[in-house]
Amino acid sequence: MGKRERALDWLVGLLPVVLMAVIGYRWGVPARLLTAMAGYLALTVLRHKALPTGFFPHALLTAVLVLLILPAAVPVWVAALGGILMAAAEGIPARIGRVTLPYWHPLAVTYVLLRLVFPTAMTAGFVLPAQWVGMDGISSATPLLALQGGETLHDTWQLFFGVRAGAMGELCVAAVLLGAGYLLLRRRLRLIAPACMLATVSLFSWIGWHSPLYGLLAGAPVLTAVLLADKEAMPPTLADQITAGVTAGAVTVLLRGIGGWADGTAVGLLMAYVAVFCRPIVWRWIRRMPGMLHAGDFFVKKKNNG
């Protein structure tokens, strides 16, 4: 299946997440979606002088991904800038070593840049969904910010079904899982890396500071795990998939615990692919150690094509 079919599958898979955002945040969602798409298309046209044939599904998917990383009340111009940054980030080489950069690699770069350059805009726009407060939304701390501030923790069912503030893509974990089920049926996902990521987040959260289930449902680990599972982006070697998942989970919890960010999933996603790129170098160094010549060869050679 080609790029157009891939983009269409991911659009369908992310549709439940977008619908929950529309239900929760109403007309602000399509406004920011269209603005992000306009920014992305504007820079793409400037770069290529024309849009490639069949480009619309990819452009729409890009706008959806930008939408999912934004707080609901973020200024509209931030959505436009996000689309522009996505178009610019796609100028990065599509392949580094054995790692293909998927749609969400530019997404992680975009989020990190927006968060660094416009920290106030990216953290002051968190509001509760409209259907839970009977109005257009009121400002509220995200579950992770509430945890860091010593406030009362959310119930797990609230996190699962969307009774919380946060970025539009992390509103409803149930919607993310529904879309993941579709993508799994379409054979778009590999499960080893996301399973390792979620297990690492759960374990480190339990060791560090709170319930493992709260660590999984608060923030965006589940959505990030789905993006990490992209079958065409992740190398088939089992060792690479384990490396990516464990790295993403560990970096996420590390930034939650000691970093200035409440959630570190975007950085974790970036570092996962950096770790996959560096793994052969590290492994060659380990094999030079006494008694380690054949250690772990099964995991390095074993492929997971499922």
Q: What is the pLDDT of residues 200-211, one digit of tens each?
A: 999 988 887 667
Is the pLDDT assigned to residue 286 strictly greater than 70?
no
- Report the number of distinct structural domains present in the chain: 1
Is the pLDDT assigned to residue 194 strictly greater than 70?
yes
The answer to whether residue 306 is domain-embedded is no
The answer to whether residue 268 is domain-embedded is yes
What CATH code is carried by the domain that includes residue 127? 1.10.3430
The answer to whether residue 107 is domain-embedded is yes
pLDDT at 62: 93
pTM of the model: 0.82
Print the domain residue range for 245.
3-301
**Lowest-pLDDT range of 84-88, 124-128, 162-166, 249-253:** 124-128
CB 173 within 8 A of CB 231: no
